Amino acid sequence: MTLYNFCEIIATNVVVKQKVGCKYIYQLNYTRAMRICCHFLSIKEEKAPPDVEYLIGHELLPVRSGRTDPRKVKPQSAISFLYRAA
Protein backbone atom coordinates (compact mmCIF):
# COMPACT_ATOMS: atom_id res chain seq x y z
CA MET A 1 0.00 0.00 0.00
CA THR A 2 2.87 2.34 0.74
CA LEU A 3 4.42 1.70 -2.68
CA TYR A 4 1.11 2.46 -4.40
CA ASN A 5 0.72 5.72 -2.45
CA PHE A 6 4.30 6.74 -3.27
CA CYS A 7 3.76 6.01 -6.96
CA GLU A 8 0.47 7.93 -7.03
CA ILE A 9 2.08 10.99 -5.42
CA ILE A 10 4.91 10.96 -7.95
CA ALA A 11 2.56 10.32 -10.90
CA THR A 12 0.24 13.19 -9.98
CA ASN A 13 3.19 15.59 -10.01
CA VAL A 14 4.24 14.59 -13.54
CA VAL A 15 3.05 17.05 -16.17
CA VAL A 16 1.92 15.44 -19.42
CA LYS A 17 2.49 17.89 -22.25
CA GLN A 18 0.03 17.40 -25.11
CA LYS A 19 1.65 17.97 -28.50
CA VAL A 20 -0.11 20.22 -30.97
CA GLY A 21 -1.48 18.44 -34.02
CA CYS A 22 -1.39 14.94 -32.55
CA LYS A 23 -4.18 12.48 -33.19
CA TYR A 24 -4.52 11.30 -29.57
CA ILE A 25 -4.52 12.71 -26.07
CA TYR A 26 -1.85 11.02 -23.97
CA GLN A 27 -1.92 9.63 -20.43
CA LEU A 28 0.70 8.10 -18.15
CA ASN A 29 1.49 4.40 -18.28
CA TYR A 30 0.89 3.52 -14.62
CA THR A 31 2.36 0.04 -14.96
CA ARG A 32 5.70 1.44 -16.08
CA ALA A 33 5.43 4.20 -13.45
CA MET A 34 5.13 1.56 -10.74
CA ARG A 35 8.21 -0.25 -12.08
CA ILE A 36 10.22 2.98 -12.15
CA CYS A 37 9.23 3.76 -8.55
CA CYS A 38 10.20 0.21 -7.46
CA HIS A 39 13.58 0.64 -9.12
CA PHE A 40 14.03 4.03 -7.45
CA LEU A 41 13.35 2.58 -4.01
CA SER A 42 15.60 -0.45 -4.54
CA ILE A 43 18.81 1.32 -5.59
CA LYS A 44 21.69 1.54 -3.16
CA GLU A 45 23.09 4.74 -1.72
CA GLU A 46 26.31 4.52 -3.76
CA LYS A 47 24.52 5.23 -7.04
CA ALA A 48 23.03 8.57 -8.03
CA PRO A 49 19.22 8.41 -7.93
CA PRO A 50 17.45 8.81 -11.28
CA ASP A 51 15.05 11.63 -12.02
CA VAL A 52 11.85 9.66 -11.45
CA GLU A 53 9.44 12.31 -12.72
CA TYR A 54 11.43 12.68 -15.95
CA LEU A 55 11.44 8.91 -16.56
CA ILE A 56 7.71 8.55 -15.85
CA GLY A 57 6.96 11.53 -18.10
CA HIS A 58 8.38 9.63 -21.07
CA GLU A 59 6.15 6.60 -20.52
CA LEU A 60 2.96 7.75 -22.23
CA LEU A 61 0.03 5.89 -23.76
CA PRO A 62 -2.57 7.29 -26.15
CA VAL A 63 -6.17 7.56 -24.96
CA ARG A 64 -8.14 5.91 -27.73
CA SER A 65 -11.79 6.67 -27.20
CA GLY A 66 -14.48 4.75 -29.03
CA ARG A 67 -12.83 1.34 -28.80
CA THR A 68 -15.43 -1.30 -29.61
CA ASP A 69 -13.45 -4.53 -29.32
CA PRO A 70 -13.74 -5.79 -25.71
CA ARG A 71 -10.96 -7.71 -24.01
CA LYS A 72 -11.10 -11.43 -24.54
CA VAL A 73 -10.48 -12.82 -21.07
CA LYS A 74 -10.53 -16.59 -20.71
CA PRO A 75 -10.99 -18.07 -17.24
CA GLN A 76 -8.19 -20.36 -16.16
CA SER A 77 -8.83 -23.49 -14.18
CA ALA A 78 -6.97 -24.34 -10.99
CA ILE A 79 -3.98 -26.66 -11.28
CA SER A 80 -4.03 -29.62 -8.94
CA PHE A 81 -0.88 -30.63 -7.10
CA LEU A 82 -1.86 -34.31 -6.88
CA TYR A 83 0.67 -35.15 -9.57
CA ARG A 84 3.42 -34.56 -6.98
CA ALA A 85 2.18 -37.25 -4.61
CA ALA A 86 4.21 -40.29 -5.52
- In angstroms, the CA 19 to CA 83 distance is 56
* Domain containing residue 49: 2-64
Predicted TM-score of the model (pTM): 0.66
pLDDT band at 85 (very low <50, low <70, confident <90, very high): low
pLDDT tens digit string along 24-82?
A: 888 888 889 999 888 888 887 777 777 888 888 888 888 888 878 777 888 888 877 77
Q: Is residue 19 part of a domain?
A: yes
- In angstroms, the CA 41 to CA 84 distance is 39
Rg (CA), the chain: 19
Q: Is residue 80 part of a domain?
A: no
Residue that wins the pLDDT comparison between 50 and 10? 10
Q: Is residue 74 part of a domain?
A: no
**Total number of domains constituting the chain:** 1
Q: CB 59: neighbour CB atoms within 10 A?
A: 16
Given a cut of 60, whether residue 16 has pLDDT beyond it is: yes
